[in-house]
Amino acid sequence: MKVLFVSDLHLKAERPDITRAFLHFLNDTATHADALYLLGDIFEAWIGDDVPMPEFEPLFETLKTLSEQGCKLYFQHGNRDFLVGKHFLERIGAKQLEEKYRVSLPIGDALLMHGDQLCTDDKDYQEFRVLVRDPNWQKEFLSKPVKERLSIAQQLRATSQQRNAEKSNDIMDVNPLAVASVLQEADIELLIHGHTHRPAIHYNQLKAGQGTRVVLGDWDTQLWYLECDENGFTLVDEPI
């Protein structure tokens, strides 16, 4: 049994090389896997399932074929693609995961999260998150014309980039107490997340000898994925 995890590909029209690398990953590495977990920010921005994205059509077809061939696909929302909906997931044959999901792996249970929830020192972001995760707010946003949604998203990206430049590095990382608390609440040994773009394997996250946190990397000049089977897990990176 082989299971794969990726996050933070930030797929966008301006970086066809990353889309190509993902297509290659799906056709090559993922075809030998039993399941592929997409843990958020797969897309740079998602403003509704109804918005045509011709540049990703081959990718959507490949994901669909992969799921039809028996590799189970799971999708968890990130802070860029939290508006991915049922319609799109049905199209590619993926199942949506809750924002904190317990999965049973060949090496034991693990908790899966995008990771933005753990950045509790980033008060501005957490406030913003509460707003945009509100179903009523989302319904209203999705009822706006595509052009207007696009312009709001662009404005938001600009605000986010500006604010991030003013934030300290620490604020934008996970809070250690938030990490310990989710591990303890779930009574679990392993947490897998992305979002921070700081790929690493951290040990002793709950206390000495207890609590491992795997951070997936973002795809830019290299790709990152976590592979898990009966023998353990490996965080893999390859040049794009």
| Binding of residue 157 to ligand LP5 (CB under 6 A) | yes
DSSP result, 164-204: HHHS-TTTTSPPHHHHHHHHHHHT-SEEEE-SSS--EEE--
Q: Which of 13, 132, 146, 177 touches ligand LP5 by CB under 6 A?
A: 132
Measure the CA–CA gap between 132 and 207, rounded to whole angstroms.
34
Which amino acid is residue 65, in one-letter code? T
Question: What stretches of 69-175 show up as alpha helix (H) in DSSP?
Answer: 86-92, 123-132, 135-142, 146-166
Q: Treating both helix axes as pointing N-terminal to C-terminal, what angle do 123-132 and 135-142 enclose, rounded to 10 degrees?
A: 70
Phi, psi torsion values for 139, nearest 5 degrees = -60, -45
Measure the CA–CA gap between 7 and 99, rounded to whole angstroms.
14
Residue whose structure tokens are 């399932």: 49
Q: Which does 78 bind (CB under 5 to 8 A by kind): Mn ion, ligand LP5, none?
A: Mn ion
Report the site for Mn ion in 40-59 (rule: CB under 5 A).
41
Which amino acid is residue 81, in one-letter code? D
Measure the CA–CA gap between 55 and 50, rounded to whole angstroms.
15
Report the site for Mn ion in 141-200 (rule: CB under 5 A).
195
| Binding of residue 158 to ligand LP5 (CB under 6 A) | no
CB of 105 to ligand LP5, least distance (A): 26
CB of 44 to ligand LP5, least distance (A): 8
- Closer of 125 and 219 to ligand LP5 (Cβ): 125
The residue length of the chain stands at: 240
The answer to the question of whether 79 is labelled as a binding residue is: yes
Q: Treating both helix axes as pointing N-terminal to C-terminal, what angle do 146-166 and 135-142 enclose, rounded to 10 degrees?
A: 130
CB of 174 to ligand LP5, least distance (A): 9
| Binding of residue 83 to ligand LP5 (CB under 6 A) | yes
Identify the CA nearest to 97 among candidates 114, 118, 119, 79. 114
Choices 15-23, 39-47, 65-73, 206-214 (CB under 6 A): range interacting with ligand LP5: 39-47
| Binding of residue 122 to ligand LP5 (CB under 6 A) | yes
| Binding of residue 112 to ligand LP5 (CB under 6 A) | no
CA angle centred on 110, ends 199 and 191, rounded to 5°: 35
Fill in the per-residue mask, 163 to 202: x = in contact with ligand LP5 (CB under 6 A), - = not in contact. Answer: xx--x----x------------------------------
What is the contact surface with ligand LP5 in residues (CB under 6 A)? 45-47, 79-80, 83, 116, 119, 122, 124-125, 128, 132, 141, 152-153, 155-157, 159-160, 163-164, 167, 172
What is the contact surface with Mn ion in residues (CB under 5 A)? 41, 78-79, 195
Give the residue ranges of the annotated binding site for substrate.
Answer: 79-80, 122, 160, 164, 167, 195
